[in-house]
Amino acid sequence: MAWKETHVMDERLMFIAEWQAGMKTMAELCREYEVSRKTGYKLINRYAAEGVDGLKDRSHAAHHHPQAVSEAIAAAVVGLRAEHPSWGPKKLKALLERDEPQENWPAESTIGVILDRHGLVRRRSRRRRGAPPPSPLQGVAAANDVWGIDFKGWFRTQDGNRCDPLSLSDLHSRYVLRLQALARPDGDGVWPVVEAAFREFGLPRTIRSDNGPPFASTGAGGLSRLSVKLIKAGVCPERIEPGKPQQNGRHERMHRTLKAETASPPAETLRAQQRRFDTFRRIFNEVRPHEALSQNTPASVFQPPSRPYCGRLNEPDYPDDHKIRRVRQNGEIKWAGDRVFLSQALIGEPVGIAEVDDGLFSVHFGMVLLGHLDHAGNFTRGARSQTETNPPPP
């Protein structure tokens, strides 16, 4: 249901009033208020039967809980905890199963809820911590292991127009895949350039960038709308540590050569500047010897990826033991009866949630770790550039 979060009752009353006025069809009303027709008819029927009270929110709790823990089980858990006050759910469950293996004991997360309900969980004050270091960068052992992407600092052409050069290169062979002056240095401008490279060359394992927009954001997992598209294309986004451009040194070194050979001074117009970029790319790839390549050219070392790009952006697949939650229009998911904000970049996307430890759950989008949830619905973000699994195989 897509009622606006603020003044829900006002929205519903306006909906009823417009329906009674008869100026709009049900389909038109439902489109305007962003609800399904099923919801619209249900609201009208409730109003007809109960008046204004029928428009109020109702509890969605089930009338019957077939998986509810019995009082005897809960008492056994609480009793054992009284004997061992320092034990957590994992140890309690292990001992209960060892002593009474015939009993169907609840999961560790459920035992944690039982302890919490009985006031047996000691709350620890949260300590402020610095952001955890990102996971180690992927090694660059062969062509298409890692592509580097970045904007070379913007400048103005001689006629006063702003030029934002986007570059994309294979970090093993140094082959410059794209060098394009963009009208807008945002995700909508970058994606068509990246997708064109995918169509021409195929998919790399990883694309490495810095931590700025449009490649990253401050949301969970550091994901931006652009990096979400990369994941759905089958490519792992990877980011260097803030303030350490040397971690993308091969790409940065190309930028230094690019500036010296194409923008000192700039061309007269953007079109003339793009011609300079095209010439630079051809010479850099096919003519210029590279010491790091034993004086060979990037074109003689680069091999197109073996993974062709199908042109589709597919939602991630998750193992069977993962719980799937789709991110709502406000960037939240629902967990443990509460709402948890993840990221605006993930609106409409499915995230996978898996129990990893004693009542602790990891939250992923594809191969990217977003953070962790506990049984009470508290969310702790992971490192901004952290991934828990390897990038897709070539």
Task: Report how far residue 332's alpha carbon sits from residue 340's, in angstroms, rounded to the nearest whole number.
Answer: 5
Q: What is the pLDDT of residues 55-79, one digit of tens each?
A: 787 766 655 555 667 888 888 888 8
Q: Is 341 exposed, middle or buried (0-12, 13-18, 19+ CB in 10 A)?
A: middle
Are 247 and 145 in contact, with CB atoms under 8 Å apart?
A: no
- Please give the pLDDT value at position 359: 81
Give the residue from 347, 326, 336 showing the smallest Cα distance to 378: 336
- Please give the pLDDT value at position 124: 58
Task: Name the pTM for this structure.
Answer: 0.62
190 pLDDT tier (thresholds 50, 70, 90): very high
Task: Report how far residue 177's alpha carbon sits from residue 143's, in angstroms, rounded to the nearest whole number.
Answer: 12
Are 236 and 387 in contact, with CB atoms under 8 Å apart?
A: yes
Residue with tokens 């790399």: 204
Residue 303's contacts (CB-CB under 8 Å, 6 or more residues apart) are 143, 144, 173
129 pLDDT tier (thresholds 50, 70, 90): very low
Peptide bond into 298 cis (omega under 30): no
Top-confidence residue, 114 or 191: 191
Are 209 and 216 in contact, with CB atoms under 8 Å apart?
A: yes
Are 351 and 85 in contact, with CB atoms under 8 Å apart?
A: no
Could you tell me the two tokens for 27?
A: 């389909």
- Please give the pLDDT value at position 133: 41
Can you give the residue ranges of every domain in the chain?
8-55, 71-117, 146-301, 323-381
3-state secondary structure of 231: helix
Give the residue from 168, 140, 147 showing the smallest Cα distance to 307: 147
Per-residue pLDDT, averaged over 9-16, amounts to 84
Task: Report how far residue 139's alpha carbon sits from residue 147's, in angstroms, rounded to the nearest whole number.
Answer: 11
- Give φ, ψ of 92 to 5 degrees: -60, -45
Q: Is 146-301 assigned to CATH 3.30.420.10? A: yes
- Kind and range of the H or E element at 350? strand 350-357
- Kind and range of the H or E element at 156? strand 155-156
Q: What is the pLDDT of residues 219-263, one digit of tens each?
A: 888 999 999 999 999 999 998 877 766 666 677 778 888 888 888
Measure CA of the first residue to CA of the last residue in the chain; give whole Å: 41
Task: Report how far residue 87's alpha carbon sits from residue 75's, in angstroms, rounded to the nearest whole number.
Answer: 16
- Please give the pLDDT value at position 316: 94
Q: Tell me the angle at which helices 89-99 and 108-117 cross, rounded to the nearest 10 degrees.
A: 110
Question: Concatenated DSSP letters for 79-133?
Answer: HHHHH-TT--HHHHHHHHHHH-TTS-PPPHHHHHHHHHHTT-----PPPP-PPPP
Task: Report how far residue 206's alpha carbon sits from residue 239's, in angstroms, rounded to the nearest whole number.
Answer: 10
272 pLDDT tier (thresholds 50, 70, 90): very high
- Please give the pLDDT value at position 123: 67
Top-confidence residue, 35 or 176: 176
- Please give the pLDDT value at position 128: 44
Task: Report how far residue 16's alpha carbon sits from residue 54's, in angstroms, rounded to the nearest whole number.
Answer: 11
Residue 344's contacts (CB-CB under 8 Å, 6 or more residues apart) are 219, 331
3-state secondary structure of 292: helix
- Please give the pLDDT value at position 156: 92
In percent, the amount of the chain with pLDDT more than 70 equals 87
Q: What is the pLDDT of residues 342-378, one digit of tens each?
A: 999 999 999 999 988 878 999 999 999 999 998 788 8
- 105 pLDDT above the threshold of 60: yes
- Kind and range of the H or E element at 178? strand 176-182
Task: Report how far residue 276's alpha carbon sits from residue 257's, in angstroms, rounded to the nearest whole number.
Answer: 13
- 384 pLDDT above the threshold of 60: no
